[in-house]
Chains A and B, each alone.
Chain A
Amino acid sequence: MITVHDIHKAYGAKAVLKGVDACFPARSLTSLIGPNGAGKTTLLLMIARLTAPGRGEVRIEGRPVAGIDIGEYARRVATLRQAPDFNLRLTVEELVAFGRFPYSRGALTREDQRVIDEAIAFLSLEPLRHAYLDELSGGQRQMAFLAMTIAQQTDYLLLDEPLNNLDIKHAVQIMRALRRLCDEQGRTVILVVHDINFAASYSDHIVAMKEGAVYCAGSVAEVITEARLGELYGLAFDITQGQRGRLCNYFNP
């Protein structure tokens, strides 16, 4: 379980996080939702230790993360930001192999190779194994990066808007993969997601943020209600319960 305690953060005079307390239960998929500028990504980056909190602390299983060696932390928490745009010429397999760096520091063992194969197979990326990243579509690239994160074999996965710029098919593939990581492998997944319907369909737990604080948090049934979402986003919501889950309609006011 990851918990955050009284987190504050300001960029210059602008306060982005104002006393955030939240809890991300283990072995479940938690979505961070909320309007732009609510501080979701900043909070996620703090858990990832990519940004330092101004005040307060993040704890992993009760232990403050600031005291954990960064190399050890990489074996417990893996982070995926939006697939970065670098001009390296490397193949999917080479990228996934980077996921083993926290363990082997560059010299791959047979065990590493096995984990890499597994991660590639988990996302059905075998046909693209030797393809170069710059030849892939955005969705395929995102899958390749996710495979690298999976190969890191961490209990916790943090993803910052993994569905950004993806078509609906790839978005569903990514979310299903995350769900399976949670259900089949017992991993804890925390992601920032903008599509409220994906959050409603795939999460166990939702943390809704607004203006630098937690607006509400709880199970999907508790958070995905017309009243709460309406106030969170300032839009009129119409939530229908169908056979395939909840559907939030906010398209026409």
Chain B
Amino acid sequence: MMRPQPRHAVWIVVVTLALIFVFLHSGLDFDYVIPKRIARLTAMLIGGAAIAWSSITFQTLTGNRILTPAIMGYEAVYLLWQALLILFMGSASLVLLGVNGNFVLSVLLMLGYSWGIHRWLFRDGKSNVYFLLLVGFVLTLLISTFTQFVQLKVSPGEFSILQGFSQASFNRAQPLQLLFSGLLVGAVCLLGRKTLPTLDVLSLGRDQAVSLGVDYRRNVRLHLALIAILVAVSTSLLGPTAFMGVFVANITYALARTFRHRVTLPLGGAIATGMFITAQLLVEHVFNYKTTVGILVNLVCGGYFLVLMVRTRGAP
């Protein structure tokens, strides 16, 4: 017997939100308004799936519910790269590389960064996730400080461009980028789908997982690599989302009421997308572009998360 559960309601809400987003005040303009909105919606879907998958699997690997892959320094590397581009090439870099060029280079840079630290920290058979976290955290601080240093060197006009890069936005995404990101995220999901039962076992912790016949080292490296791809794509596509993943993952756990990744990963994707659509709707129709999605996403996520905590406290 399937009882209706909160997690089924999530899908209905997200689909409804998506329809509202596409058609609200559109004047049914299928030539300009609606295609533009569908492009943004696609960006949200891809970004939402990437953020949910990367955060939830990252929390499974680390056995910790207050972390996101941001702690590994991917976003810091992205921002440093944007800052350096502006510093050395000025705002001309935007024209020189083009949006697609910048996108591809950002993805490659973040992948290179993660490949480097994984290779360095997992050399000669080591697989200590906590050490990886510590190094990632220190690198994040170091790189962010360096970025701030660069920011002080650029002109105010260029600084405002940099500010733009440090906020999540759905307006940057170009069709070609969407296609590329969609293919990458889709490939990761397909590849990762087979490993979902193994991920369930990994959530029991290293020792139990090994005892149940899971090749721990291989699986951790595989999933960290998948996470790196997802974060690189979502950051290059939307910009940094920082700790949104914490909210998304924990709201997912509360609503899914199961630990199975078969349920939590798609549900997390739906929740993240729902959050994005809500924030974007507010930006477009309520705040009239006077605030940014990044700020609203955190506000919406954080607010909903608190409500969920308060509401579920007394309940079984």
A221 at the interface (CB under 8 A from B): no
**In angstroms, how far is the closest chain A Cβ from the Cβ of B151?**
39
- Chain A-chain B contacts (Cβ-Cβ < 8 Å), number: 67
Chain B hits for A107, CB < 8 A: 197
Known: A88-B259, A90-B259. A71 touches B213 (CB 8 A): yes
Chain A hits for B101, CB < 8 A: none
Chain A hits for B201, CB < 8 A: 98, 101, 106
Is there an interface contact between A84 and B208, defined as CB atoms closer than 8 Å?
yes
Q: Please choose the segment from A8-16, A25-33, A72-80, A182-190 that sits at the chain B interface, where 4 or more of its residues have CB less than 8 A away.
A: A72-80
- Complex: how many Å from CA A73 to CA B215? 11
Name the one of A74, A84, A86 contacting B212, with C-beta atoms under 8 angstroms.
Answer: A74
B214 at the interface (CB under 8 A from A): yes
Is there an interface contact between A48 and B198, defined as CB atoms closer than 8 Å?
no
Is there an interface contact between A86 and B197, defined as CB atoms closer than 8 Å?
no
Is there an interface contact between B212 and A102, defined as CB atoms closer than 8 Å?
yes
B200 at the interface (CB under 8 A from A): yes
B186 at the interface (CB under 8 A from A): no
Known: A84-B205, A86-B204. A70 touches B210 (CB 8 A): yes
The interface size of chain B toward A, counting residues with CB under 8 Å, comes to 23
Is there an interface contact between B204 and A84, defined as CB atoms closer than 8 Å?
yes
B118 at the interface (CB under 8 A from A): no
Is there an interface contact between A152 and B196, defined as CB atoms closer than 8 Å?
no
B257-281 vs A: 1/0 string, CB under 8 Å? Answer: 1110000000000000000000000
A141 at the interface (CB under 8 A from B): no
B207 at the interface (CB under 8 A from A): yes
A76-113 vs B: 1/0 string, CB under 8 Å? Answer: 00111100101111100000001101100111000000
**In angstroms, how far is the closest chain B Cβ from the Cβ of A200?**
28
A interface: dominant SS = loop
- Complex: how many Å from CA A71 to CA B219? 13
Is there an interface contact between B63 and A74, defined as CB atoms closer than 8 Å?
no
Is there an interface contact between B213 and A74, defined as CB atoms closer than 8 Å?
yes
Closest to A160 in B: B207
A50 at the interface (CB under 8 A from B): yes
B166 at the interface (CB under 8 A from A): no
B65 at the interface (CB under 8 A from A): yes
> Which of A71, A89, A106 is most buried by chain B, counting CB atoms within 10 A of its CB?
A106
**In angstroms, how far is the closest chain B Cβ from the Cβ of A45?**
8
B140 at the interface (CB under 8 A from A): no
Known: A84-B204, A101-B197, A106-B198. A89 touches B212 (CB 8 A): no
Is there an interface contact between A86 and B63, defined as CB atoms closer than 8 Å?
yes
Closest to A82 in B: B207
Chain A hits for B213, CB < 8 A: 70-75, 101-102
Is there an interface contact between B212 and A98, defined as CB atoms closer than 8 Å?
yes
- Complex: how many Å from CA A89 to CA B196? 17
A18 at the interface (CB under 8 A from B): no
Known: A79-B207, A84-B205, A89-B259. A105 touches B212 (CB 8 A): no
What would be 21 A-B contacts, judged by CB atoms less than 8 Å apart? A48-B211, A70-B215, A71-B215, A74-B212, A79-B210, A81-B208, A84-B204, A84-B205, A88-B203, A90-B258, A98-B201, A98-B204, A98-B208, A99-B212, A101-B197, A101-B213, A101-B214, A102-B212, A102-B213, A106-B201, A107-B197
Chain A residues packing against B (C-beta within 8 Å):
48-50, 70-75, 78-81, 84, 86-90, 98-99, 101-102, 105-107, 152
Closest 4 CB pairs of A and B: A106-B197, A74-B213, A79-B211, A102-B213
Chain B residues packing against A (C-beta within 8 Å):
63, 65, 196-198, 200-201, 203-208, 210-215, 253, 257-259
Q: A48-B210, A101-B213, A102-B213 are in contact. List 7 more A-B contacts (CB 8 A).
A: A72-B213, A81-B208, A86-B204, A88-B204, A90-B259, A101-B214, A106-B200
